[in-house]
Amino acid sequence: MKDLKTRVGVLSMCILAMSALVITNAFSAIIAAFPNESVAKIQMLGTIPSLGTLLTTILVGILAVHIPKKILALTGVVLVGVGGLLPLLFHTNLNLLLVCALILGIGLGFTVPVTTMLISILFDQDERADVMGQNTAINSLGSVIMMLGGGLLGGRYWQNTYFIFLITIVIFLLVLFLIPMDKVAHIKSDQGQVEKTSAWTLLRHLSKYAFIVSFIGLFMSMIYTIYPTNLSIIVAAKHLGGTSITGIVNAIGTIGGFVAGFSLKYFNKLFKDKILVAGFITLGITFLLIRLANNLTVVIIGALLSGFAMAMVMATIPFYVSVVSAPVEIAISMSLCQFLNSLGGTFTPIILSALHIPAGNAAFTAGVIASAIMAAVCLLFNIGKRVMTNGQGQQTTDTTVPNGVEQG
């Protein structure tokens, strides 16, 4: 029962993971409401939060070395609530709306990495992979709840879209009452004395596998971004439908991620330490099917597989990072992982442009090749097995280091 309460508290924050996109439903109405403002500036309501999230993720990793993760989680939920609800009062000023969007993103910069930190310290290794999968599943479910709820609330008056952020009150209470207060892990010397340390010191002493796995997450984010940014172009080019059809296909992909997230323990049993290989192969099949599709059914199958691929890889990445990190290193390693994941998608259009790869079919062909390369890398270097082997024996309450190790 205690374990269930903790799961509910931790996973409730996942509902907010995609909340920055809620207001994109109302872009057409907002453009009409601000005729003297540029469309690009209005679109920043959907992009500014990612900037806040990216910058805050680094700060949270430093703070979490010294402050209980539960406190940081509550802070994040409050900031998301403030950034999401203040526009109900200040919706006549676009600049204030942009400030609120930034606050919202800062809040997500707390909740997203802290969620994986809490999973890593509150659940043992046997449970952790399962909870990481549920984390991915609830992210997908939360996206549907926030987007659909916000769209329905803002159907008549666009500013009412922001009422969906009242859900942060419920989530705050769940985090407050269901998640136990965690203890800040410490480094101890050979004499058993607690040593002061810094985030930089911890970062320098992370296992090389924490960096390797985090960069695999970066590449996954880069490759996966090809899918949503080019899907509508391909659907239109193949004369299979317009915006509404693309929306339905994306929703089906979300369902795939939800199902796969809750089924991750079965995928782990099936693929064992080759789950990253299976995930990248599945993503490659997604790109290939939709690239060759001549009917909507094949596109929908590809969309489902995209959700499965995302769940398999993006739930496994933080799990692997937690396995090779000592408790005192969790805050830094998870922040590194989340930072690179957030950064990855921003590089995709730049790289495709530099390689002169046009949007649409050519981009999906690049996705097939990139997915195959990553699957081969994970297989040839036996990433999963090496991570699990090097992670044994590192899960202790405190980390004892010799006096010769420099402390910041």
Q: Which of 28, 58, 62, 65 is nearest to 43 (CA)?
A: 28
Q: How far apart are CA 277 and CA 216, in angstroms?
A: 11
CB 18 within 8 A of CB 147: yes
Q: Which of 171, 164, 34 is nearest to 111 (CA)?
A: 171
Q: How far apart are CA 260 and CA 311, in angstroms?
A: 6
Q: Which residue has the tokens 């049993």?
A: 269
Other beta carbons within 10 angstroms of residue 239's beta carbon come to 8
Q: How far apart are CA 109 and CA 112, in angstroms?
A: 6
pLDDT at 391 (0 to 100): 74
Domains of the chain: residue spans and CATH? 2-184 (1.20.1250.20), 202-390 (1.20.1250.20)
DSSP string, 107-160: HHHHHHHHHHHHHHHHS-HHHHHHHHHHHHHHHHHHHHHHHHHHHHHTSSSGGG
Q: What are phi and psi of 188, to 5 degrees?
A: -115, 145
CB 188 within 8 A of CB 401: yes
Secondary structure, 3-state, 22-86: HHHHHHHHHHHHCCCCCHHHHHHHHHHHHHHHHHHHHHHHHHCCCCCHHHHHHHHHHHHHHHHHH
Is residue 48 left, alpha or beta, with left meaning phi > 0 and alpha meaning psi from -120 to 50?
alpha
State the amino acid at position 90 in one-letter form: F
Other beta carbons within 10 angstroms of residue 59's beta carbon come to 15
Token representation of residue 90: 């200040």
Segments of 297-398 assigned E as strands: none
Q: How far apart are CA 90 and CA 323, in angstroms?
A: 45
Residue ranges of the chain whose pLDDT lies below 50: 392-408
